[in-house]
Structure 1
């Protein structure tokens, strides 16, 4: 009975919390949902195949670093549900233009590739995306419930 009470307390606390920041720490393959300074949920995540460093151009398999916004949800993705990250920002576009390359884009927090969610226990052990941030499908459902459009996301090494 005590465990049920604790579980209900935890679920109620999460439900009452408001995610004010999504913090991503690439060097640890971690994503934290914060309400102020309090971590209310943490996930193990996967990134692009070349995770270290800031995304410089399309096709470099890097996940951007910096401060962005989660600006819209996409339910008809090639992956199980997705929320778009506002990369590239003006600075990203200017730096890419100075190098004569495309900055890339369409960077998302998303679930597993459609019809392959059952592989998540394996795929989430590797950095397998083209620069996105991947969760399991169950985690993606929770993420989409807890995180509102307009929530800031801070990504760092």
Structure 2
């Protein structure tokens, strides 16, 4: 019995020492998270982008079909810098244009930089123009010549619808209103119109 008591006492002492070691032994410290190179950031709180239902989506713009039949009428709207060309068959074509360097108001005299207003007609087609092709307009008309005679000044002339200057590289478009009173398009656009225009075609120029 004494031997059993000694063994029991030894086991109790060992258990006590084990418990004390667990209580006071140093605990391993978990590693701290290292900061990233980007630093701390606000969480992404943006809402997901929602696509509009197909019925509300704007369809992509279709390129206008080129002029393929005789030109019947041309309308120039100076304030909108827009020219509309009606053809015999097919939808009208619209073009962005440049005007004279001082476009506001009707042309009065030579060198004023204004594009004339009124109804004119194509009176010449020039392949040897100082610009890339040109459609000449019948300006000055009698009313312009009479006003110039009364005022004692030159009404000017050579008002045309034309392309870019021959000196600039093909495909380049001069920016802004740069002509001396004419109506300017790109070379590709004037080629399209020139191929289907005819003498006598009406050209209306509005403010």
- Residue 15 of structure 1 corresponds to which residue in structure 2? 68
Cα distance change on mapping 1:10 and 1:128 into 2, 3 Å: closer
Alignment of 1:5-154 (within 5 A): 10=65, 14-16=67-69, 18-35=70-87, 40-116=92-168, 117-120=170-173, 123=174, 125-154=175-204
CA distance in 2, matches of 1:131, 1:148: 22
- Residue 9 of structure 2 corresponds to which residue in structure 1? none
Q: Could you tell me whether the CA contact under 8 Å between 1:33 and 1:39 is conserved in 2?
A: no
- Residue 20 of structure 2 corresponds to which residue in structure 1? none
CA drift of 1:35 comes to 4.2
CA distance in 1, matches of 2:193, 2:128: 16
Aligned Cα root-mean-square deviation (Å): 2.1
Q: Could you tell me whether the CA contact under 8 Å between 2:171 and 2:187 is conserved in 1?
A: no
Higher RCO (CA < 8 A, seq sep 6+): 1
Give the structure-1-normalised TM-score: 0.84
CA distance in 1, matches of 2:108, 2:91: 30
Structure 2: segments with no counterpart, 5+ residues:
1-61
Structure number having the greater helix percentage? 1
CA drift of 1:39 comes to 5.5
CA distance in 2, matches of 1:81, 1:73: 8
CA distance in 2, matches of 1:52, 1:64: 10
Q: Could you tell me whether the CA contact under 8 Å between 2:135 and 2:161 is conserved in 1?
A: yes
CA drift of 1:44 comes to 0.4
Structure number having the greater strand percentage? 1
CA distance in 1, matches of 2:161, 2:91: 18
Name the larger-Rg structure. 2
How many residues end up aligned between the 2 structures? 144
Structure 1: segments with no counterpart, 5+ residues:
1-5
Q: Could you tell me whether the CA contact under 8 Å between 2:71 and 2:193 is conserved in 1?
A: no
